[in-house]
Structure 1
Amino acid sequence: MSKKNIAILTVLLAIILDQVLKIYIKTTYALNGGFEVFSWFQIHFVENNGMAMGFEFGGEAGKLFLTLFRIIAVFAIVYWLIGNIKRKVHNAVIVGIALIFAGAVGNIIDSVFYGVIFDSSNNNVATLFADEPYGTLFHGKVVDMFYFPFIKDAILPEWIPFIGGDTFTFFQYIFNPADAYISVGVALLFIFSKQAFPKEEKKKKDIKA
């Protein structure tokens, strides 16, 4: 399979899986609903207005800025992906960049469109293509559902300054497939960094050859 086809297939499958899972969760559970798979892995439906894993960013204005930034970033990632396809880099690098692209697009779809195709998930299961959507274009909420509380409600030792005796949960953040794609993509680029980010000397040798 050509590197171009690997990239296209990775992007398509990743975005489809992301959106199918998000739409299923949103049309099956009310906000904060879900179920336990294992004690350390739960499906827990939440929404956020900001960055990945529930971080907030500047209210509605920040939300719009973040969405527009993601759209601009997507074009930069496409340019980067095309360049690496032409360079015929390792397939893992192609997959890594494709996953980062798919993750960005997946969350953009939520941010741009979900506010005008779903009604609210507060205290009820949302309806797809609702008559009374909960938001406006570019102001949709990102759907998250993966929760891995490996250590839950543990108590920190009293001898730790400032936070001793407090409870904590690891891992407390809830995320979605798109967030996972970006994390895996970054990890692949780190592992195959020599192929993804060749040194200038290597580039000069390639030009001379």
Structure 2
Amino acid sequence: MSLKKAIGIIVLILLIDQISKIYIKTNFALGESVEVFGWFKILFVENKGMAWGVELPGSYGKLFLTLFRLFAITAIGYWLYDSVKKKSSKILIVAIALIFAGAFGNIIDSVFYGIIFNESVYQGEVASFMPEAGGYAPVFHGHVVDMLYFPMIDTTWPEWVPWLGGDRLSFFDPVFNIADSAITIGVLLLIIFNKKAFPKKPVTAKEIATEEISE
């Protein structure tokens, strides 16, 4: 697979990811939701930290996280370039491109959203793009926009269940975005098609002869 096609995948995912995030950010108040199906909602939340909302303490924690993401995406970008150069399997290149696009999509939020949008608030006015008063956070301190929510199960445990009876039973609680989906799909491709993504090189007669001599 050529590098041009891999870049095409990355650009397409980034466009879908950023268009969806900008639309949600400028049309939804924080916490506002729209039901698409009973098991699927568009719910606007912002993630200040890592996956699943895990945060590093303090402003320096957010800065460290963003810088780490920049370092990680540089490594992923080199991995993609090297894989294309070595003519690795198509499934590997597609998976890396998906992971790169997803990581880059969330990095855009972390680096730039704080300076190009004002703050989103619960039950308030929606944020605006490039506000005159300035953004809600300095560069590298933006929040990642999430909106895809799949509450496939939202009920309560039966009263007869020990310790859990009457408590809320829910699945699937995390809210995520297109970039997160791309990363997840890329990782799943590497796991499911591991043998195709990382095929073992056939042993040559010369290597066999070398091993026999050394023994």
Larger radius of gyration: 2
1:15-34 → structure 2 map (5 Å cutoff)? 15-34=14-33
- Between the aligned partners of 1:149 and 1:159, the Cα distance in structure 2 is 22
Number of the residue aligned with 1:167:
168
Number of the residue aligned with 1:5:
4
Q: Any idea what the Cα deviations from partners look like across 1:78-101, whole Å, max 9, x if unmatched? A: 111112112222222211100100
Equivalent position SS for 1:42 = strand
Say yes or no: does 1:146 pair with 2:148: yes
Give unpaired runs (5+ residues) of structure 1.
Answer: none
Number of the residue aligned with 1:112:
111
Number of the residue aligned with 1:51:
50
Question: Is 2:90–2:197's contact at 8 Å kept on the other side of the alignment?
Answer: no
Aligned amino acid, residue 121 of structure 1: S
Equivalent position SS for 1:144 = strand
Number of the residue aligned with 1:84:
83
Aligned amino acid, residue 11 of structure 1: I
Equivalent position SS for 1:135 = coil
Question: Is 1:53–1:144's contact at 8 Å kept on the other side of the alignment?
Answer: no
Q: Following TM superposition, by how much is the alpha carbon of 1:204 offset from its aligned partner in structure 2, in angstroms?
A: 6.0
Number of the residue aligned with 1:184:
185
Change beyond 3 A, Cα 1:156–1:65: farther
Q: Following TM superposition, by how much is the alpha carbon of 1:60 offset from its aligned partner in structure 2, in angstroms?
A: 2.4
Given the two structures, how large is their TM-score scaled by the length of structure 1? 0.90
Structure 1 window deviating more from structure 2 (165-174 vs 68-77): it is 165-174
Question: Is 2:118–2:131's contact at 8 Å kept on the other side of the alignment?
Answer: yes
Question: Is 2:43–2:147's contact at 8 Å kept on the other side of the alignment?
Answer: yes
Question: Is 1:18–1:106's contact at 8 Å kept on the other side of the alignment?
Answer: yes
Q: Percent identity?
A: 52
- Between the aligned partners of 1:163 and 1:104, the Cα distance in structure 2 is 37
- Between the aligned partners of 1:67 and 1:203, the Cα distance in structure 2 is 41
Q: Any idea what the Cα deviations from partners look like across 1:57-112, whole Å, max 9, x if unmatched? A: 32422211111111000111011111211222222221110010011110000001
Q: Following TM superposition, by how much is the alpha carbon of 1:203 offset from its aligned partner in structure 2, in angstroms?
A: 7.1
Aligned amino acid, residue 182 of structure 1: I
Aligned amino acid, residue 113 of structure 1: F
Q: Following TM superposition, by how much is the alpha carbon of 1:167 offset from its aligned partner in structure 2, in angstroms?
A: 0.9
Give unpaired runs (5+ residues) of structure 2.
Answer: 208-215
Equivalent position SS for 1:27 = helix
Q: Any idea what the Cα deviations from partners look like across 1:95-143, whole Å, max 9, x if unmatched? A: 1100100111100000010000000111111100112211111110110
Q: Any idea what the Cα deviations from partners look like across 1:9-37, whole Å, max 9, x if unmatched? A: 00100111100000000011110113100
Equivalent position SS for 2:27 = coil
- Between the aligned partners of 2:78 and 2:55, the Cα distance in structure 1 is 29
Equivalent position SS for 1:126 = coil
Q: Following TM superposition, by how much is the alpha carbon of 1:156 offset from its aligned partner in structure 2, in angstroms?
A: 5.7
Q: How many residues align?
A: 204
Given the two structures, how large is their TM-score scaled by the length of structure 2? 0.87
Number of the residue aligned with 2:132:
131
- Between the aligned partners of 1:192 and 1:75, the Cα distance in structure 2 is 24
